[in-house]
Amino acid sequence: MRSREDTAECWFSPPKVHHVIIPEPLNVDRVCIGHRGVWWAEIETRGRMAHGSMPFLGDCAVRHMHAVVERFERDLYPRLAARHTDMPVVPPGARHSTLNINSIHGGQAQSAGYPTAVVPDSCRMVIDRRLLIEESIEGVKREMAELLEQLARERDGFRYEVRDIFEVQPSMTDRDGPVARSTAAAIRRVLGREPEFVCSPGTYDQKHIDRIGRLRDCIAYGPGILDLAHQPDEYVVIEDMVNSAKVMALAARALLYRDP
């Protein structure tokens, strides 16, 4: 029986597939040649449970997590903002390393509308770390471990655990490759203007085509306003949908029939 990766490699690599265009809402006049990497992880701080009226007998895990967030603000965020990539990532703010705190959960659930009178012995934070092609996932994890270990040395009772959730290496193809070149030519023909070659701040399925299929000639293209992604007022202009369909049809024809 074949593994999932063996199956993907079979279907998304030559001779069955030579070029891939992945529809993504990156703006109708942009050819997206790659994306940043990502590391999702959960950080848990540990404490000791006690009655809420006697917090001095316990050890509050939420306060320990506050120390982690404070250290992010003081040390990590400035370091990330100072790193710059040569990837043409859009928007410009994503040309730096970034870290988002997705969620924080700590303490006991409320009972009958009243808080539970307990010192929390656990607090969990989910982080979303986006990395540049100049970085490595190993280096990103090591940087986080060093920050947490420093806290463990400096803060009484600080205990933590890090659990990996998901990780993706950055990916970027050649802007002069067949699929990027054909799509750019189609944009010029349909829209009458020069295309912009960009990289995505997030990730999409190019990571699978590249890593599993080992197919480098892959881009993302499609209508939609990138800056509105995952926002409540996200929309697509109908004219852009029509034009992007024309662009992809012309690009596919050029690739299939070897047009210049």
Same domain, 114 and 130: yes
Secondary element (H or E) of residue 253:
helix 238-256
User: Do residue 31 and residue 144 come from a single domain?
Assistant: no
Classify 202 as helix, strand or coil. Answer: coil
User: Binning pLDDT at 50, 70 and 90, where does residue 113 land?
Assistant: confident
Q: Give yes or no: residues 61 and 151 share one domain.
A: yes
Does one domain contain both 42 and 160?
Answer: yes
Q: What is the CATH number of the domain that holds 69?
A: 3.30.70.360
Note the pTM of the prediction, 2 decimals.
Answer: 0.86
Look up the CATH number of the domain holding residue 177: 3.40.630.10
Mean pLDDT, residues 85-96 taken together: 95
Do both 136 and 243 map to the same domain?
no
Chain mean pLDDT for the chain: 92
Coil, helix or strand for 16?
Answer: coil
Query: Whole-angstrom Cα distance, residue 188 to residue 20?
Result: 20
What total number of domains does the chain contain? 2
Q: Of 110, 144, 168, which closes a domain?
A: 168
Angle between helix axes 178-191 and 238-256 (nearest 10 degrees) is 130
Which pLDDT value is given to residue 41?
98
Domain of residue 200: give its range: 4-35+171-256
Using the structure block, give the residue that is written with the tokens 């967030």: 69
The one-letter amino acid code at 8 reads A
Are the C-beta atoms of residues 179 and 218 closer than 8 Å to each other?
Answer: yes
- Element housing 207 (H / E): helix 206-211
21 & 121 share domain: no
**Of 125, 163, 139, 145, the residue nearest 37 (C-alpha):** 139
Spatial CA neighbour of 165 closest among 123, 200, 137, 193: 137
pLDDT given at position 72 = 98
Of 104, 139, 168, the residue at which a domain comes to its end is 168
Digit-coded pLDDT (tens) for 193-237:
999 999 999 999 898 888 777 788 999 999 998 888 888 888 999
For residue 231, is it left (φ>0), alpha (ψ between -120 and 50) or beta? beta
Q: Are residues 124 and 71 both part of a single domain? A: yes
Tell me, yes or no, whether 135 and 30 share the same domain.
no
What pLDDT was estimated at residue 258?
73
Q: Within this chain, do residues 187 and 130 fall inside the same structural domain, yes or no? A: no
Strands, E assignment, the chain: 20-23, 27-35, 37-46, 98-106, 122-131, 159-168, 171-172, 196-200, 218-222
Peptide bond into 14 cis (omega under 30): no
User: Are 162 and 51 contained in the same domain?
Assistant: yes
Residues 188-209 as b or e (16 or more Cβ within 10 Å = b) = eebbeeebebbbbbebbebbbb
179 and 160 part of one domain: no
CA-to-CA dists, residue 260 to 54, 172, 183, 194, 195, angstroms: 77, 23, 11, 17, 17
Same-domain check for residues 30 and 66: no
> pLDDT digit string (tens) for 51-76?
999 999 999 999 999 999 999 999 99
Q: Which of 147, 168, 189 is the last residue of a domain?
A: 168
